[in-house]
Chain A
Amino acid sequence: DSGVTQTPKHLITATGQRVTLRCSPRSGDLSVYWYQQSLDQGLQFLIHYYNGEERAKGNILERFSAQQFPDLHSELNLSSLELGDSALYFCASSVGAGGPHEQFFGPGTRLTVL
């Protein structure tokens, strides 16, 4: 158990809908990262938040957004969902904002768009 929690574990929805994925980092970690893992694209970095502020953006679509709240939990919002958004979404946390800090991954949320 990494100490990072993600809810829900599974999510099934229809095209065009909007969903919110939630992540709680390990106690004491200030950074939260979101990743998408699909069969054809592998593991891709989406976005990084540190202590409530966005720090880095990766391959995140404009239909996706995220935020980190004062209690340090984070939410990833996916809107106007398409079939291709079906994937595993992982959240990870680390102590710092940069440097060689180990990232601890949560168990993931499996999103299926029908």
Chain B
Amino acid sequence: GESVGLHLPTLSVQEGDNSIINCAYSNSASDYFIWYKQESGKGPQFIIDIRSNMDKRQGQRVTVLLNKTVKHLSLQIAATQPGDSAVYFCAETENYGQNFVFGPGTRLSVLP
């Protein structure tokens, strides 16, 4: 498959451990945030979202934390599995618009 972001920061974790992927966003007026997962050769896939009136949201094995004070977003993946290996992007938008600004991405590598 195609290579995305050959020089992306990489996070390597052992299978079964928890992963934390961080994202610093730029616009203090952003009010809606999404985490996407992109596997090799595929388009981005929605994982979880959060609105600015929340500071935490949980999904299945994933949790997103939002710290508006320092403009920081994180994605926590519990019990990381080999299938979680991918590039993860955060995206932000203002006024719930659809003009999303994407972060540079982090490559998650799950070690057996």
Contact = CB atoms under 8 A, between A and B. Distances in A.
Interface of A: 2, 4, 31, 33, 37, 39, 42-45, 48, 55-56, 58, 88, 90, 92, 94, 97-108, 110
A108 to B, nearest CB: 5
A-B residue pairs, 5 tightest by C-beta? A105-B43, A43-B102, A56-B99, A102-B46, A99-B96
B99 A106 contact: no
Interface residues of B, number: 27
A39 B43 contact: no
Contacts of A92: 43-44
9 contacts: A2-B45, A4-B43, A45-B99, A98-B95, A100-B32, A102-B46, A102-B49, A107-B42, A108-B43
Contacts of A43: 44, 89, 102, 105
Name the prevailing secondary structure of the A interface residues: strand
A110 B2 contact: yes
Contact of A56 (B89, B98, B105): B98
Contacts of B4: 37, 39, 88
Contacts of B95: 98
B51 A100 contact: yes
Contacts of A42: 5, 89, 102-105
Contacts of B43: 2, 4, 90, 92, 105-108
Given A2-B43, A100-B49, A107-B43, A58 B2 contact: no
Given A37-B4, A39-B6, A100-B51, A45 B46 contact: no
Contacts of B46: 102-104
A44 B102 CA distance: 7
